[in-house]
Structure 1
């Protein structure tokens, strides 16, 4: 048992080390800023250039192209940030640097000029890469020798993730829509700064955990695995000249696509001014990147012993399903806000308005009261040791409560209520908090389904959520620019999307740890994050066509695409069950 980590368990909050709750609140403010900014970005960019709170009147295609490139980098840069922390600067320094870069990024976006928008997004991408992978790494180090406590620790930590997303979308969304976009972007930056400061001044709690890493020494241990009935000594699989060539083609073509796609749609700047093999340049480089990466995977996997090869093939199949899941699920950040703004009746009067205000009050205040209770519990245990950190955290909550009270007071003064576009995005976090414990109990019971069934459920529930939107929009004619559809269809969609997420999303990292040998986890972790990154980019690449498809066919047709493809892939997952079971060699 690691004696260094024993000190963490002297001061407990709700049965866990106080340091865990410092990380809880640091992650909460980071997620507050990330989801708060993302909630208003597309609505701001595509908003009319006239009115009380004007936007920039970008096309949906241009706005979602920028969002897709940003979201893709958000999932790629943690690979580099994790390596840098592991080998050079340590986890805690990486978190501080990442938080500082993101603070600068949010502040830049608050200026509301194109130049500062791009500067801000660049800083957010770099900061996220430093921050995201290293928070969980600190928890892992903190709980060394206390493996029985890890599951509970991560559950608490991810409650912080969802609490931050919930509060960030609620407050940044409301302030951005009702007060001004700059204030919404600026609010995200303020809480990122406060989160960074409360973490910096709590360093005494962490001892040497997350410090600059020591140089690694020692012999390379041979790894022996079973290949059928025989013991086989694993051979190293070094990268060859062909591997590096394919990596080079993949990286260059992927970067050309990632940058060319938004530049061609926002500024009409193209890498090449002619088609290649009959394909637009962006699509050509995207396909070239995909082909080169598939070839790299096939060539490398073929060199492993059968057991390892089979398990990595199974994980690769799961990654393919992951791409298409996120390509549909992430419509929540792109096309769904457009649908909510233009095609949903959000004006409420009389009893309906009062009913919404009461619901909004409950879902706003109750989670905040619970988190405030956690905050006070942390204060009681740690104020003598990290008083300044606690004071900064307390100021953060005073600001939150002040904004919430102002928001509720303002809403209750009006007789007519317009539900903010961004309000519906909080439903995902709310439903996760409500249903995650039930799914955890299900996975821990004897009725825990196999991987293929979980992926089927995740994809099918996701598709069913879009089916509600398609059904609700069935009478909207082709070419319509607006409609007054019921908000209930959105609520049902977010509910089933969240249920699908709870079935599928946690599975990726779980099966990564079970199927992949320790020496190759870094490479396959990169593959998994690449799958999510591609899914995010694909989501907004396709979602940018919502207006085009609605004009040429119908709005219902757009959502039917995201109904049939996930459900169809879910059925494929079920049919692959015998193959996947054989490839996984006993892993459940």
Structure 2
């Protein structure tokens, strides 16, 4: 990352004036700031946000004290409500503009349910892979995994290296230091990758690292993105339907994990569930992501008025930040829920919530399409 930062620093002139400091103050109509409102409106929503911070933080401390570590949830929710409230009560927002801004807000809120569940990949799903999945392979299976792992490691690395080599040929004279640092970065990456593959091939058996399953999302995206691009050309439903499909498919992925966890005894600390359930879960999750993620930012830019685009992107990423926090917060209950109920019950929560949200979006589709005023 440090080399990457240095590389971008030395190549900052490659984009010309893009990202440069503006020479004059932009016209307010084109500004990303909300239209001017009275100070009272700002104070009102700041007060509401602060009240929510105190209320939520107080409730969490009351129910979890002295073990509470939930210091972020209250400020996140309070800030989100204050920003959304201040934006939608902008006195210059009227008619079509106001309707479209509300659609962005509603879709942003539904993405919370998606990313809260999706980001379990870095927490509860990794725990499931490490402690509850049979990751040991022998004989033919071990060799097959080593070959697949080599392809998944070398192929994308070789493609990216070739592309950057072609770029370096064009930019070496103008940005030699940038090319030097990116070359050093890839020497390090290739060295680590080849050492890892050499180490794996030396061992007769193979144990799939728990973190390895995380690459399946990237692999499935690369493999399936062209298919989805073709599919949307022939069948291109409205944005809310794509959001709903993403949520439902995500829930089905966790349904697969819930089913795979049926053999895990209540309160068990380890188990040997087949890895096929994790692979299928990542498959469904990636398909869901391909339905929802590319659409989200596109709709923010299409629906938000020009002067509020920056603010609405802030709302969108604020919702994502809240979702990521909730992902970690809810994942922390995996041991408690699996001990009191079962691992299946834990994953069923992430099955029911996204699917329910998706079904609600399907019901709201007609209303949201009307409020989008022709934006598909």
User: Normalized against structure 2, the TM-score is what?
Assistant: 0.89
**Measured at CA, do residues 194 and 286 of structure 1 come closer, stay the same or move farther in structure 2, by a change above 3 Å?**
closer
Match of residue 561 from structure 1: 349
**Structure 2 residue 239 is matched with structure 1 residue 451:** yes
**Measured at CA, do residues 253 and 581 of structure 1 come closer, stay the same or move farther in structure 2, by a change above 3 Å?**
closer
Match of residue 186 from structure 1: none
Match of residue 421 from structure 1: 210
Q: Contact (CA 8 Å) 1:474, 1:556: kept in 2 or not?
A: yes
Match of residue 275 from structure 1: none
Please, which runs of 5 or more residues in structure 2 have no aligned partner?
none
**Structure 2 residue 25 is matched with structure 1 residue 216:** yes
Q: CA deviation at 1:292?
A: 5.1
**Structure 2 residue 13 is matched with structure 1 residue 201:** no
**Structure 2 residue 323 is matched with structure 1 residue 535:** yes
C-alpha distance in structure 2 between counterparts of 1:251 and 1:438, whole Å: 47
**Structure 2 residue 150 is matched with structure 1 residue 361:** yes
Q: CA deviation at 1:438?
A: 2.2
**Structure 2 residue 291 is matched with structure 1 residue 492:** no
Cα-Cα RMSD: 3.2
- What is the CA deviation profile of residues 259-311 of structure 1, one whole-angstrom value per residue up to 9, with x for unaligned ones? x989x99x95769xxxxxxxxx8699479738954982696168731212211
Q: CA deviation at 1:240?
A: 3.9
Q: Secondary structure at the match of 1:576?
A: helix
**Measured at CA, do residues 537 and 284 of structure 1 come closer, stay the same or move farther in structure 2, by a change above 3 Å?**
closer
Please, which runs of 5 or more residues in structure 1 have no aligned partner?
1-191, 224-234, 272-280
C-alpha distance in structure 1 between counterparts of 2:357 and 2:246, whole Å: 10
Q: Contact (CA 8 Å) 1:247, 1:292: kept in 2 or not?
A: no
Match of residue 463 from structure 1: 251
Indicate which of 361, 365, 368 corresponds to 1:573: 361
**Structure 2 residue 170 is matched with structure 1 residue 391:** no
Q: Contact (CA 8 Å) 1:302, 1:309: kept in 2 or not?
A: no
Q: Say how many residue pairs are matched.
A: 373
| Higher relative contact order structure (alpha carbons within 8 Å, sequence separation ≥ 6) | 2
Q: Contact (CA 8 Å) 2:37, 2:91: kept in 1 or not?
A: no
C-alpha distance in structure 2 between counterparts of 1:462 and 1:584, whole Å: 25
C-alpha distance in structure 2 between counterparts of 1:270 and 1:325, whole Å: 25
C-alpha distance in structure 1 between counterparts of 2:109 and 2:29, whole Å: 33
Match of residue 78 from structure 2: 289
Q: Contact (CA 8 Å) 2:221, 2:286: kept in 1 or not?
A: yes
Out of 453-462 and 209-218, give the one that drifted further.
209-218
Q: CA deviation at 1:201?
A: 2.2
Q: CA deviation at 1:462?
A: 0.3
Indicate which of 509, 512, 523 corresponds to 2:300: 512
C-alpha distance in structure 2 between counterparts of 1:452 and 1:269, whole Å: 39
- What is the CA deviation profile of residues 193-233 of structure 1, one whole-angstrom value per residue up to 9, with x for unaligned ones? 11122222223433443233223166x5599xxxxxxxxxx
C-alpha distance in structure 1 between counterparts of 2:215 and 2:321, whole Å: 22
**Measured at CA, do residues 470 and 587 of structure 1 come closer, stay the same or move farther in structure 2, by a change above 3 Å?**
same
C-alpha distance in structure 1 between counterparts of 2:272 and 2:81, whole Å: 46
Q: CA deviation at 1:378?
A: 1.2
- What is the CA deviation profile of residues 169-188 of structure 1, one whole-angstrom value per residue up to 9, with x for unaligned ones? xxxxxxxxxxxxxxxxxxxx
Q: CA deviation at 1:255?
A: 9.2
Q: CA deviation at 1:523?
A: 2.0
Match of residue 379 from structure 1: 168
C-alpha distance in structure 2 between counterparts of 1:284 and 1:395, whole Å: 41
C-alpha distance in structure 2 between counterparts of 1:207 and 1:298, whole Å: 33
Q: CA deviation at 1:487?
A: 0.8
C-alpha distance in structure 1 between counterparts of 2:73 and 2:256, whole Å: 35
Q: CA deviation at 1:550?
A: 0.3
**Measured at CA, do residues 302 and 346 of structure 1 come closer, stay the same or move farther in structure 2, by a change above 3 Å?**
farther
Q: CA deviation at 1:569?
A: 1.2
Out of 293-302 and 343-352, give the one that drifted further.
293-302
Q: Contact (CA 8 Å) 1:473, 1:556: kept in 2 or not?
A: yes
Out of 246-255 and 492-501, give the one that drifted further.
246-255
Q: Secondary structure at the match of 2:263?
A: coil
Match of residue 44 from structure 2: 245
Q: Secondary structure at the match of 2:137?
A: strand
**Measured at CA, do residues 254 and 301 of structure 1 come closer, stay the same or move farther in structure 2, by a change above 3 Å?**
same
C-alpha distance in structure 2 between counterparts of 1:410 and 1:222, whole Å: 56
Match of residue 139 from structure 2: 350
C-alpha distance in structure 2 between counterparts of 1:222 and 1:413, whole Å: 61
Match of residue 290 from structure 2: 502
Q: Contact (CA 8 Å) 1:301, 1:312: kept in 2 or not?
A: no
